[in-house]
Amino acid sequence: MRSSGAPADGADKAKSSEQRVELARALGDLMRDMTLESDRLAHRFAHHHELHATDFRALTLIYTAEQQGKPLSPSKLAAMLSLSSGAVTYLVERLVSSGHVTRADDPTDRRRVILRYALHGHETASAYFVPLGMHIAKGLAEFDDESLRTARDVLRAMHEAMTTFDDE
């Protein structure tokens, strides 16, 4: 549900428009603040586990792709991170050596390799991010399901706007 209430007229419409602009600005500010906080937490995790910032981004992409049932090849990872093939080879080597990632044969093409999150990677990430998830769940507990669906829809629209902007 994207809107509610009766259409506004004249002064009400102008006031409503001003309120909408202010709400959109507040959402943008909160999105920025969440992004900055997310970056801070990611850097803290990476530093604690002696990972480069790019390593953390790679781990996030590998994990997400695997969760979606679309594991990444090193070349796809390189494209997503804007890295050369040499740089991604070095990156993958670091992640494999540290036990966060494994290489596996691509079941659809044995000539290709895909990247999988290793058990050590899952354990390391879970030790940090499960408690964070518990804090988030606690913060969301006061909201009913409909409010959470609306928040999800707003965040999805903002995400789509950002990716559309980046694609242009």
| Structure confidence at residue 2 (pLDDT) | 47
* Domain encompassing residue 67: 49-117
Whether 59 is in a domain gets the answer yes
- Domain membership of residue 32 (yes or no) is no
Domain count, the chain: 1
Q: pLDDT tens for residues 64-122?
A: 999 999 999 999 999 999 999 999 999 999 999 999 999 999 988 888 999 999 999 99
Tell me the whole-structure pTM to 2 decimals.
Answer: 0.80
Q: How many CB atoms lie within 10 A of CB 127?
A: 11
Asked if the structure places residue 53 within a domain, the reply is: yes
| Whether pLDDT at 54 is above 80 | yes
Residue 77 counted as domain residue: yes
Query: Residue 14 — very low, low, confident or very high, per pLDDT cuts 50/70/90?
Result: low
Does 17 map to a domain? no
Residue 8's pLDDT band (boundaries 50, 70, 90)? low
> ∠ CA(14), CA(15), CA(17), 5° rounding?
65
Through-space distance between the first and last CA atoms of the chain, rounded to whole angstroms: 28
Residue of 53, 106, 105 lying closest to 83 (CA atoms): 53
**CATH number of the structural domain spanning residue 101:** 1.10.10.10
Residue 58 is predicted with a pLDDT of 97
Residue 163 in any domain: the answer is: no
pLDDT at 57 over 80: yes
In a domain, residue 69? The reply is yes
The answer to whether 54 touches 91, Cβ cutoff 8 Å, is: yes
Contact between residue 127 and residue 133 where contact means Cβ atoms under 8 Å apart: no
In a domain, 112, yes or no: yes
